[in-house]
Structure 1
């Protein structure tokens, strides 16, 4: 039994559409727990790329995942269209805590909810950098306290 009720779509200011993949299913016929982490990573990076604040190929700043966690509420399976709700719970000097939820198309209650922490670093040195400028502005727009 999950320790809390599933979040609803209304709790997330942004929704990123995704599709389950054939390889996501495990032998039990549902999406394997590890696949959810690819959904979270994909949703965060898709949003940042589309907002124009992340260049995964040539940008000087990259986000490294330092912490994740997930609570599962209902199974998903291939083929299902999904969406991932995205918000920022905490914006620090060099880090951001995202909170995310995976929703089956047409459902208001999340199938899974997670947190995902990025530390932003210099691509070459891997030393933490201050989240500033346009990146900070975009992340502040997702901040829900």
Structure 2
């Protein structure tokens, strides 16, 4: 996997690090990167009007995730999360996310996660609702 550039992503989201994100080694702990990924994706879904965290009848559950680290990030760094959809299935989506420090063009970390969309009550997979599919189709990189 080559180190991503900000131009490789359809959407960009500003994120801030917090004092509590740093670990004893003086950089953001690896598990926090996954929280950044979740925050970027779900924030964009809420902002797009296709996710109401408390009421949406269809919700995404993470079934797979991964991350590669290239450069350290530490509080008080400001980050930009780059986001794109790599695969849009019947009931699942593979999101690819990269984190960029301040105004840097090369990713400090990049990874992915897969949401399987399920009925909120039964937790059984369901097809992506049309409005969600339309929003996510706009997050697929052209070309």
Q: TM-score, normalised by structure 2?
A: 0.97
Aligned residue for 1:117, secondary structure, equals strand
Q: Which runs of 5+ in 2 are unaligned?
A: none
Is the aligned partner of 1:72 residue 2:69? yes
Output aligned runs, 1:112-127, within 5 Å: 112-127=109-124
Query: Deviation per CA, 1:27-61, whole angstroms, max 9, x where unpaired?
Result: 00000000000000000000000000001011101
Partner of 1:133: 130
Q: TM-score, normalised by structure 1?
A: 0.96
1:138 Cα deviation after fit: 0.3
Residues paired across the two proteins, number: 142
Output aligned runs, 1:1-145, within 5 Å: 4-144=1-141
Query: Deviation per CA, 1:60-92, whole angstroms, max 9, x where unpaired?
Result: 011000000000000000011101000000000
Aligned residue for 1:125, secondary structure, equals coil
Aligned residue for 1:118, secondary structure, equals strand
Query: Deviation per CA, 1:111-142, whole angstroms, max 9, x where unpaired?
Result: 00001100000000001010131100000001
Equivalents in 2 of 1:45, 1:68: separation in Å? 15
Equivalents in 1 of 2:49, 2:129: separation in Å? 14
Equivalents in 2 of 1:143, 1:113: separation in Å? 17
Aligned residue for 1:136, secondary structure, equals helix
